[in-house]
Amino acid sequence: MTQNEKLAELSGAGVAVWLDDLSRDRTRNGDLQTLVDDYSVVGVTTNPTIFAAAVSGSDSYDDQVHAMAVRGVSVEEALRTITAADVRDACDLLAPVARRTGRDGRVSLEVSPRVAHDTDATAAEAAHLWWLVDRPNLFIKIPATQEGMAAITTSIAAGISINVTLIFSPERYRMVMDAYLSGLEQRVRDGGSLTGIESVASFFISRVDTEIDERLDKAGADPALKGKAALANAQLAYQSYEEVFSSDRWRALQGRGARPQRPLWASTGVKSQDYPDTRYISDLIAPDTVNTMPEKTLKAYADHGSPGTPIQQTYDEAAKVMKAVTEAGVDLDDVFKVLEDEGIQKFVDSWEELTESVRSELQDKK
């Protein structure tokens, strides 16, 4: 098969195509390599939910779990050994992409969601995972909680590449960009090099529509407002990105070799059948962005996707949409807080599920 034209065109417009999924089977059976070769995939994101599904749905982990069971390792150690191995293998598979692009070919591994509200524990685990996987094309994922901001700065200052996840509001996104720049500035003060440090800021999309649509319904708002907030929210976030990464503060760091922290569109699979299945790709096209997609969404765009209005032409309309949503009675601050809390809890639940799955496997394999 040759390179899919629609995804190649998307890449040509400045959107890095990443896959929002990983499993040991994908790396071993050639599936991930096919997506790289034929579908323009240049990166991979993972989260606790993805790993829970991978481990419980495959026997590819049996030999490794057996080896750890007879050694009597703890559940936590087994958990990290399994996930780190998968991410390390994916990093190796994507290493040629990393060499070719200089910035993609990245694979993300998340700190435990249990420490999302503990700054020191988050920074410590980020450093441990960076050491454990030991690949230059790794991203450590840190949730964009208030407590996560200082951990992002500390990690960047230590030379660790970070994927900041669970961002829902433009205001929190600005804090994330500030945390990134502060980390770079700290590293410069400490005499470190900025070469090789990368970061992305994962701005969540579909969950915003799900939550706001429900509130618009309850408020008896104009149905025409539904399905517009998530895109408008992300479009305004990109406007903030353009402002921050054209500032004098940024240029000073750029002169020392820093790379911009790219916006990454996450949660881009539609949750409602009322909306086109490619809408969170088509209408979020802009230079220096990443779109991480479930395979179903990736294949849908490859089949029938088409570019929408470029983000830079949407700012005025996006501001009007968010104003209208607020005037309809939707408390956006509460929306974003609820989404962050739910996002953390969802990953905690998946982490517990993964922990129990590994604990059970360790007992069975003794």
Q: What is the pLDDT of residues 205-251, one digit of tens each?
A: 999 999 999 999 999 999 999 999 999 999 999 999 999 999 999 99
Q: Sort strands 15-19 and 41-44 into parallel, antiparallel or unpaired.
A: parallel
pLDDT of residue 362: 84
Determine the Cα–Cα distance for residues 243 and 256; give it in Å rounded to an integer.
Answer: 20
* CB crowding 290-316: b at 16 or more within 10 Å, else e: bbbbebebbbbbbeebeebeebeebee
Residues 6+ apart with CB under 8 A from 325: 212, 216, 221, 225, 228, 229, 332
Q: Sort strands 41-44 and 106-110 into parallel, antiparallel or unpaired.
A: parallel
Q: In the numeric block, which tokens belong to residue 262?
A: 């790219």
Nearest alpha-carbon partner for 214 in 317, 89, 330: 330
pLDDT tens-digit readout, 272-331: 888 999 999 999 999 999 999 999 999 999 999 999 999 999 999 999 999 999 999 999
pLDDT at 191 over 80: yes
Helices (H), the chain: 5-12, 24-28, 31-38, 48-56, 62-71, 75-101, 119-133, 148-157, 170-189, 206-219, 229-244, 248-254, 279-282, 295-304, 315-327, 332-364
What percent of the chain has pLDDT above 70? 99
Task: State the sign of the Cα–Cα–Cα–Cα dihedral 39, 270, 165, 330.
Answer: positive
pLDDT of residue 211: 97
In terms of phi and psi (left: phi > 0; alpha: psi -120 to 50; beta: otherwise), the region of 134 is: left
pLDDT of residue 1: 58
pLDDT tens-digit readout, 95-149: 999 999 999 999 999 999 999 999 999 999 999 999 999 999 999 999 999 999 9
pLDDT at 57 over 90: no
Length of the chain: 366
Longest dimension (CA), the chain: 62
Strand partners, 338: none
Determine the Cα–Cα distance for residues 282 and 307; give it in Å rounded to an integer.
Answer: 5
Determine the Cα–Cα distance for residues 204 and 58; give it in Å rounded to an integer.
Answer: 28
Nearest alpha-carbon partner for 231 in 208, 215, 252, 214: 208
Give the SS3 label for residue 1: coil
pLDDT of residue 199: 98
Could you give the residue numbers annotated as active site?
A: 141
Indicate the average pLDDT of the chain.
95
pLDDT of residue 354: 86
Q: Place 65 in a pLDDT band, splitting at 50, 70 and 90.
A: confident
